[in-house]
Amino acid sequence: MYHDSNVIGQTVSRLRYERHWSQDDLVARLQIMGCGITRSVLANIETRRSVATDKQIVFLAQVFGVDVGRLFPPGPARSNGTPVGVCTQAATRRRSE
């Protein structure tokens, strides 16, 4: 089962791949930082079988050296050219349902 609310899995996998880290490498780095994550949890996040917690998202951004927002895919642009965030898109969908 895939979680539509997991929007960071592909980015986490890509950032890990760009650094030539295995899942075990990334988990070891996260655990050193104090994030109690296992390889199976990371694998489930990357494959969208589970959703990362807020704490895990913060640790992932820190270990990759990126802003938290970089983990999330860009949304569509508004008519004035400014991006619509993922949270805005989700809220808009809920209101229209």
Q: The CATH number of the domain where 55 resides is what? A: 1.10.260.40
Residue 36 has pLDDT above 80, yes or no: yes
Q: Which domain holds residue 56?
A: 1-97
Q: What pLDDT, on the 0 to 100 scale, is given for residue 84?
A: 55
Residue 92 has pLDDT above 90, yes or no: no
Residue 94 has pLDDT above 70, yes or no: no
Number of separate domains in the chain? 1
Residue 82 has pLDDT above 70, yes or no: no
Q: What pLDDT, on the 0 to 100 scale, is given for residue 95?
A: 46
Identify the CA nearest to 72 among candidates 21, 18, 9: 9
Name the pTM for this structure. Answer: 0.74
Which residue is associated with the tokens 């494959």?
Answer: 47
